[in-house]
Amino acid sequence: MDKIVPFSSLTPAKQEELLNEPAKQPPDGIQSNLTNPQNFNNGGFVLTSFCLAIATAFVFMRLYAKVFLIGRVRIEDYLLADISIFVGIAYCIYRLIINVGFRIHQWDVRLSSMSEHLYVMHLCINLYSAHLLVTKTAILLEWIHIFVPDGRRSSFFWACCCLIWANIIFYSVVIIVANLVCIPIQKIWDKTVDGECNSDANFLNILSASLNLAFDIFILVLPQPVIWKLHMPKTKKIGVSVVFAIGILATIASCFRVADSLQYRSGDLTYVASDLVIWSLVEMTCSFLVFCVPIIPRMWNGSCTRDPTVMRMWCNRSILRTHPLHHLLRRRINGAWSRCRDYWKINKILSFSRDGNYEENTDLGWPLDQFRGIICTREIISTVEDASSFNIETDGRSESCPWTEPV
């Protein structure tokens, strides 16, 4: 990049010639390939699409469980709008693959393409920091609601609060610093613009990756002591611990990101930056798993099969709220639904014959001997009255048809 320092003083023809040259001199024994360089475009496209599909699927599963099964949405659930940031990062990677190339050496890239590469990477840094700011805050808020349900100010509660504020401050500072590396800001991606850049930018990248790894380790370890103090069988503790230990995948990705940040000094920016994007993408996907996986088992514990029409009833209720008579309609619909549901529950167990004796309903596989107690009761009162007890005035009408005319 030292070539373009006196760029503004060059003639237009010289500028055009310089922009068509490789962005970096190749090592000894290697020749630049500017037409068809070796790349990882297909792999980057598949990996990005896979991570995007996994993250989106788990986000929608969590929303379904929270809205339709649990029926309670907290502030951390609204932070799932962060999926839009993840989509923005996927767009940046697709753009990088199409316009520059993915995992391509810098000596195989034209100098004119470096502006596009640096611009996309600048967007990725900002979106990546904003994503982790929001997602890690949501994870910690979720754990407060899970492990401190009574609102007791325990050590776990204060640890989560401290991490939340440290996380917000840290990533806010990262975003600010990333946009102040060069003045004016356009010089971050366009080196032909006159201005100044901070020479310690690489050190800031290493520091940011290291502190991010420390946050991941804290979040991974934090709930484990609480889980092992729960009053439950050891096997269940192991299962819960494994569910909350999914963050180890994000920690591994953070370790590789730190290693790639150390290699940034090599000067092969386009190649190393692609590796950084890969591990950042894996880490962001794992952050969605850490947030969504603990709530997913609610979809398979019988709550969703107990009432399969819950989504339809919720939609009907939302429509009825807009009607002027929605209160009356809602009461009548709920009453009818309750009666039909009770009738359905009884007839799942018994089927009554004409002579009044019930028989086992073998079609539905409900053995009658498994039920104890009274299933259904019905009271019938029959009264008999003697007609002689009434004072009937005979006026010639028929006794069997008193409404007829007198004879």
Structure tokens at 249: 């995948």
pLDDT band of 14, cuts 50, 70, 90:
confident
Q: Is the pLDDT of residue 93 over 70?
A: yes
Give 352-383 pLDDT, tens digit per residue: 344 444 444 444 444 444 444 455 556 666 66
Residue 407 pLDDT? 45
The closest alpha carbon to 116, from 88, 89, 130, 97, belongs to: 97
Q: In this predicted model, what pLDDT tens digit does every residue of 72-89 receive, in sequence order? A: 888 888 888 889 999 999
- State residue 170's pLDDT score: 93
Q: Please, is 288 exposed, middle or buried when counting C-beta atoms within 10 Å of its C-beta (0-12, 13-18, 19+)?
A: buried
Mean pLDDT of 159-180: 92
Q: Strands 350-352 and 358-360: what pairing?
A: antiparallel
- Higher-confidence residue of 385 and 266: namely 266
| Residue 165 pLDDT exceeds 70 | yes
Which comes out higher in pLDDT, residue 16 or 329? 16
pLDDT number for residue 94? 95
- Give the pLDDT confidence score for residue 301 in this predicted structure: 55
Does residue 406 carry a pLDDT above 60?
Answer: no
Interval 209-224 mean pLDDT: 88
Beta bridge partners of 352: 358
- Judge whether 69 and 310 are in contact, CB under 8 Å: yes
On the question of pLDDT at 250 being above 50, the answer is yes
Q: Is the dihedral of CA 37, 43, 46, 52 positive or negative?
A: negative
DSSP 137-187: HHHHHHHHHHH-TT----HHHHHHHHHHHHHHHHHHHHHHHHTSSEESGGG
pLDDT at 219 > cutoff 70? yes
Whether the pLDDT of residue 346 is over 60: the answer is no
Model confidence at 245: pLDDT above 70: yes
Q: What percent of the chain has pLDDT over 90?
A: 24
| Closest to 247 (Cα-Cα) out of 210, 277, 284, 274 | 284
249 neighbors 217 (Cβ within 8 angstroms): no
What pLDDT, on a 0 to 100 scale, did the predictor assign at position 206?
Answer: 84
Confidence band for 51, pLDDT divided at 50, 70 and 90: very high
Query: Which of the following CATH numbers is that of domain 2-306: 3.40.50, 1.20.120, 1.20.140, 1.20.1070?
Result: 1.20.1070
Average pLDDT on 165-177 reads 93
Give the Cα-Cα-Cα angle 214, 215, 216 (nearest 5 degrees).
90
CB 187, CB 193: distance < 8 Å: yes
Instruction: Give rounded-to-5 percent helix, strand, coil for the chain.
Output: 65, 5, 30
Burial class (CB in 10 A: 0-12, 13-18, 19+), 363: exposed
pLDDT score, position 200: 67
Q: Is 400 exposed, middle or buried (0-12, 13-18, 19+ CB in 10 A)?
A: exposed
Percentage of the chain exceeding pLDDT 70: 69
| 28-35: average pLDDT | 85
Among the listed residues 131, 396, 154, 402, the one whose alpha carbon sits nearest the alpha carbon of residue 280: 131
Average the pLDDT over each of 174-183, 376-385, 395-404 and give the range with the smallest value.
395-404
Q: At 233, is the pLDDT very low, low, confident or very high (cuts 50, 70, 90)?
A: confident
Place of tokens 């923005």: 88
If you average pLDDT over residues 100-119, what whole number do you get? Answer: 89
pLDDT at residue 354, as a whole number: 41
DSSP-based three-state secondary structure for 111: helix
Mean pLDDT of all residues in the chain? Answer: 76
pLDDT above 70: residue 280: yes
What are 291-324's pLDDT values in tens digits?
A: 888 877 766 654 444 444 443 443 344 444 444 4
Max mean pLDDT among 122-126, 215-219, 266-270, 329-333 falls in 122-126
Domain ranges of the chain: 2-306, 327-379
